C-alpha cells in the first residue's frame, strides 16, 4: 500500500518513491528484474518531469512576445501555430516514429525543438518569427504525445502505475514555473536558455531508454473499432481544451497589460500545476466513482467558471486565487480520456492518435479565436465569453450524457 505524505520534506518525498517502487516490484512483466524496473521507472519519471518542465517554460512565450510589442492578434496567431501543427505533425511524427522507432525519433524531435526556439528571440521581424515558429512547432508539438505514448506503453506492459508516473509531469511543470518566476527577472533570454537546457537533459535521459513496440498479436487486434462513446466525447474535449488554452496563453498577456510584476505569470503557472496533485493521487478512484462522462463535463464547467472569475479579479492576489481552480480543469479532461483509452486494449494506439489530434484542435481554437476576441472586445470581454459559454455547454453535455446512459 502506497501512503501519501503531504510535506515538503525531501526525506518523505524519497520515502514516497521507495514505497511506490516496492508496491509495483511484486509484478513481473516485460522480463525486467526488480533493479531493472527501478531504473526504467526513474527514467520515465525524469522524462515526465523534464518534458512538462519545458512546457512550463514555453507557456511564458506569449509574455515575451507581448514585451516585443506585437499585437494581440499576432500573439494569438503565433501561439496558434503550435496546436494547428499538431493536426498534421502528430500524424507525420508518429509515422516516422513507427519506421525508425519512437524513442529514436523522440530524441531527434527534442534536440530540434531545443535549438529552433531561439529563432523567435534572435529575429525581430514578425514574419521571420512566424517561419521559425512553424518549424519549431512541427517538432515540439509532437514531444508530449510521443513521450506519453512511450510511457503509457511501458507502464502498460510492465504493469507500473501510470497515474503516479504522470504525477511527476505535474511536479516538473510546477517546479520549473516556480523557478522561472525568479529567473525571469534576469530577462526574457532566460526562457530560451532554460528551454534548451531541459531539451538537452531529456535527450540524455532518453539515450538509456529502450524501444518499446506492440507485439504481433497486439498489432493484429489493434484494428478493432473504437466505441461510439469515445467519438461523442472528443468534441467535448476540443471545446474544454480550447477554453482552457485561452487562459493558458493570455493570462501572461493580461498580467503584462495590467502592469503586474513580471514574475506573477510564472508563479501563477506553478500554483496551477500544484493544484493538479490531489486529483492525480486519487485519479483512478475518482474516475471509477464519477465516471468518464460526468468527470469530463465537470472539468469543462470549472474551466468556464475560472475564466469568468478572472474578470472579477482586480488584484494580483485575487488573480492567483482564481487560478487555483486549475486542479479540476485540464488534468480532469485529460485523465478521464486517458482512462477510457486504456480500456481499449491494443486499439488504444489508434485512439491515442485521435485524442492527440483533438488536443491540437482545442488549443488552436482557443489561441486563434481568443486573439481575435481579445483584439476586438478587450481581454476582459474575451475572458467573459470563454467563461459563460463553457459553463452553459458543460451543463448541456451533462444532461445529454445522462439521457445517453439511460437509453444505452
Q: Is residue 239, in this structure, part of any structural domain at all?
A: yes
pLDDT at 213: 66
**Tens-digit pLDDT profile for residues 119-170:** 999 888 889 999 999 999 999 988 988 898 888 888 877 777 777 888 898 8
Q: Which three cell numbers stand for residue 275?
A: 493544484
pLDDT at 341: 84
Rg (the chain; Cα; Å): 21
Q: Are residues 134 and 85 in contact, defined by beta-carbon separation less than 8 angstroms?
A: yes
What DSSP letter does each residue of 4-27 carry, written as one string? ------HHHHHHHHHHHHHHHTTS
The pLDDT > 90 percentage for the chain reads 28
**Tens-digit pLDDT profile for residues 311-349:** 999 899 999 999 999 999 998 998 889 888 878 777 777
Dihedral of alpha carbons 314, 78, 273, 389, sign: positive
Q: Is residue 150, in this structure, part of any structural domain at all?
A: yes
- Number of domains observed in the structure of the chain: 1
The beta-strand segments (E) located in 207-257 are none
For 175, other C-beta atoms within 10 Å of its C-beta total 18
Instruction: Give the Cα separation of 375 and 371 in Å (integer).
Output: 6
Q: Is residue 18, in this structure, part of any structural domain at all?
A: no
Domain span at residue 41 reads 34-407
Q: Is residue 279, in this structure, part of any structural domain at all?
A: yes
pLDDT at 241: 92
What DSSP letter does each residue of 327-359 carry, written as one string? GGTHHHHHHHHHHHHHTTGGGHHHHHHHHHHHH
Q: Is residue 348, in this structure, part of any structural domain at all?
A: yes
Residues 6+ apart with CB under 8 A from 290: 298
pLDDT at 54: 94
Q: Are residues 121 and 94 in contact, defined by beta-carbon separation less than 8 angstroms?
A: no
- Looking up residue 118, the CATH number of its domain turns out to be 1.20.1250.20
Q: Which mean pLDDT values do the consecutive 10-residue runs of the chain (408 residues) have?
A: 37 46 47 67 90 91 86 82 80 82 90 93 90 93 88 79 82 88 88 95 89 56 74 89 90 86 80 85 85 90 95 91 92 88 77 82 84 89 93 88 64
Q: Is residue 271, in this structure, part of any structural domain at all?
A: yes
Q: Is residue 359, in this structure, part of any structural domain at all?
A: yes
CA dist 19 → 38, 112, 162, 194, 402 (Å): 12, 37, 15, 32, 39
Instruction: Give the Cα separation of 300 and 288 in Å (integer).
Output: 19
Q: Is 81 helix (H, G, I), strand (E, B) or coil?
A: helix
Query: By C-alpha distance, which of 283, 233, 243, 287 is closest to 401?
Result: 233
Instruction: Give the Cα separation of 237 and 345 in Å (integer).
Output: 21
pLDDT at 346: 72
Query: By C-alpha distance, which of 288, 36, 329 is closest to 170?
Result: 329
Q: Is residue 29, in this structure, part of any structural domain at all?
A: no
Roughly what angle, to the nearest 10 degrees, separates helices 34-58 and 10-24? 130
Residues 6+ apart with CB under 8 A from 39: 208
Amino acid at each position: 500500500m502506497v501512503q501519501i505524505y503531504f510535506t515538503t520534506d525531501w526525506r518523505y518525498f524519497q520515502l514516497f518513491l521507495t514505497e511506490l517502487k516496492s508496491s509495483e516490484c511484486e509484478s513481473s512483466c516485460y522480463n525486467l528484474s526488480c533493479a531493472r524496473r527501478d531504473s526504467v521507472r526513474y527514467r520515465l519519471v525524469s522524462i515526465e518531469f523534464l518534458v512538462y518542465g519545458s512546457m512550463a517554460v514555453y507557456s511564458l512565450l506569449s509574455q515575451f512576445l507581448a514585451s516585443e510589442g506585437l499585437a494581440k492578434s499576432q500573439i494569438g496567431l503565433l501561439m496558434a501555430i503550435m496546436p494547428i501543427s499538431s493536426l498534421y505533425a502528430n500524424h507525420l511524427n508518429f509515422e516516422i516514429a513507427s519506421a525508425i522507432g519512437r524513442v529514436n525519433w523522440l530524441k531527434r524531435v527534442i534536440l530540434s525543438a531545443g535549438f529552433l526556439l531561439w529563432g523567435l528571440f534572435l529575429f525581430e521581424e514578425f514574419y521571420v518569427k512566424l517561419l521559425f515558429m512553424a518549424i519549431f512547432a512541427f517538432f515540439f508539438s509532437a514531444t508530449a504525445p510521443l513521450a506519453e505514448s512511450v510511457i503509457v506503453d511501458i507502464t502498460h506492459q510492465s504493469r507500473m502505475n501510470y497515474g503516479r508516473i504522470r504525477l511527476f509531469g505535474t511536479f516538473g511543470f510546477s517546479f520549473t514555473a516556480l523557478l522561472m518566476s525568479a529567473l525571469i527577472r534576469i530577462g526574457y533570454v532566460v526562457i530560451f536558455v532554460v528551454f534548451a537546457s531541459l531539451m538537452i537533459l531529456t535527450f540524455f535521459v532518453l539515450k538509456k531508454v529502450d524501444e518499446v513496440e506492440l507485439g504481433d498479436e497486439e498489432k493484429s487486434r489493434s484494428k478493432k473499432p473504437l466505441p461510439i462513446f469515445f467519438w461523442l466525447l472528443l468534441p467535448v474535449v476540443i471545446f474544454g481544451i480550447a477554453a482552457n488554452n485561452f487562459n493558458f496563453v493570455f493570462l501572461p498577456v493580461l498580467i503584462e497589460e495590467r502592469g503586474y510584476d513580471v514574475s506573477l505569470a510564472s508563479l501563477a503557472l506553478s500554483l496551477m500545476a500544484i493544484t493538479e496533485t490531489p486529483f492525480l493521487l486519487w485519479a483512478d478512484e475518482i474516475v471509477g466513482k464519477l465516471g468518464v462522462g460526468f468527470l469530463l463535463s465537470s472539468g469543462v464547467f470549472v474551466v468556464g467558471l475560472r475564466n469568468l472569475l478572472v474578470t472579477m479579479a482586480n488584484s494580483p492576489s485575487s488573480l492567483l486565487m482564481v487560478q487555483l481552480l486549475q486542479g479540476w480543469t485540464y488534468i480532469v479532461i485529460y485523465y478521464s480520456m486517458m482512462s477510457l483509452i486504456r480500456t481499449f486494449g491494443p486499439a488504444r494506439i489508434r485512439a491515442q492518435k485521435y485524442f492527440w489530434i483533438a488536443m491540437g484542435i482545442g488549443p488552436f481554437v482557443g489561441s486563434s479565436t481568443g486573439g481575435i476576441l481579445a483584439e476586438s472586445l478587450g481581454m476582459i470581454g474575451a475572458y467573459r465569453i470563454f467563461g459563460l459559454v463553457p459553463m452553459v455547454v458543460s451543463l448541456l453535455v451533462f444532461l445529454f450524457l445522462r439521457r445517453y446512459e439511460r437509453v444505452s
